[in-house]
Amino acid sequence: MDLKNKRILVTGADGFIGSHLVEMLVSEGCKVVALVQYNSFNNWGWLEEVGCLSQIEIVAGDIRDPFFCKTITKNIDIIFHLAALIAIPYSYAAPDSYIETNIKGTLNICEAALASKVEKIIHTSTSEVYGTAKYVPIDEEHPLQAQSPYSATKISADALAMSFHNSYNLPLVIARPFNTYGPRQSARAVIPTIITQISNGMEEIVLGDLTPTRDYNYIEDTCRGFIAIAKCDEAIGHIINIGSNYEISIKDTLNIIKDLMHSNVTFVTDKERLRPKNSEVLRLWCDNSKIHKMTGFTPKINISEGLQKTVDWFTNPGNLKKYKTDIYNV
């Protein structure tokens, strides 16, 4: 499928991945409708920072409202559904809000997409649905494990989305990105936490567990994966991982950042920041052979290069001031 001149709705366009995806879709010649979370400040999140703002149509609203969803999906060719609550610590405190946004919101988007007869919908999953790896690398057949309220709602949303394909022939594919990082990422994530605090002269940084491993994917590669999946007609009805096929511990990742920033900072574990014992996902390592076989996609940016790009962005004073580095972000 050629995306050029397609009218594309991106939900969650004001977020980290969504804002970068909007930029990349514009560069592909797409007509982008960007859905941002309605707020009384009329703030468009990270879309306020993009250079293509004049080339996109911004709509403020809420995917929890089914009537609104049916309105925004009219005359749309393709939907990238990224809108979700994603912070794991907050899901322990407010699980019902995750049900309303992640599950009910996905239901509303799927129903609206079906009514509007869209050509394709790309629903966003997460590697968190796999839980701690039972084998590595993790392919799309790996068992799903709800180790947090967040992952439970994403497992449910994925199943609900795929049921619309199976029951109503909704042309849907599930994109399952692993741990994406890069410019504009929320400070609740460990990589921005480290970079911003080192930039502000911290000599000791308090963190949670540093032993788990992750498959980090630079934001540009994640967005390229999304677009490759959207272009692939054979992807409909499939679940497809987006990752680097490279495993690294959080501790080793942070040490790379220390070296890149020429820092002597020390890391201290805070028990209050540890996940509950059975909730911590200890190992994630993506098998990306399916996306490569179906679309030809291969990540371009390795962990060192990606972290350097991320450090460069966060250490820009204009970007750094947007982050509250002196508090624990949940």
The pLDDT value recorded for residue 84 is 98
Residue 324's pLDDT is what? 84
All domains of the chain in start order, with CATH: 7-132+139-180+217-242 (3.40.50.720), 182-214+246-320 (3.90.25.10)
pLDDT at res. 120? 98
C-alpha to C-alpha distance for 294 and 234, rounded to whole angstroms: 7
What is the value of pTM for the model shown?
Answer: 0.97
For residue 237, the model assigns a pLDDT of 98
pLDDT score for 188: 85
3-state secondary structure the chain: CCCCCCEEEEECCCCHHHHHHHHHHHHCCCEEEEEEECCCCCCCHHHHHCCCHHHCEEEEECCCCHHHHHHHCCCCCEEEECCCCCCHHHHHHCHHHHHHHHHHHHHHHHHHHHHHCCCEEEEECCHHHHCCCCCCCECCCCCCCCCCHHHHHHHHHHHHHHHHHHHHCCCEEEEEECEEECCCCCCCCHHHHHHHHHHCCCCEEEECCCCCEECEEEHHHHHHHHHHHHHCHHHCCCEEEECCCCCEEHHHHHHHHHHHCCCCCEEEECHHHCCCCCCCCCECCECCHHHHHHHCCCCCCCHHHHHHHHHHHHCCHHHHCCCCCCCCCC
Flag residues of the chain having pLDDT under 70. 271-273, 328-330
Q: Check residue 194 and give its pLDDT.
A: 93
pLDDT in tens, 262-304: 999 999 887 666 778 899 999 999 999 999 999 999 999 999 9
Question: What pLDDT is attached to residue 277?
Answer: 84
d(CA 69, CA 84): 14
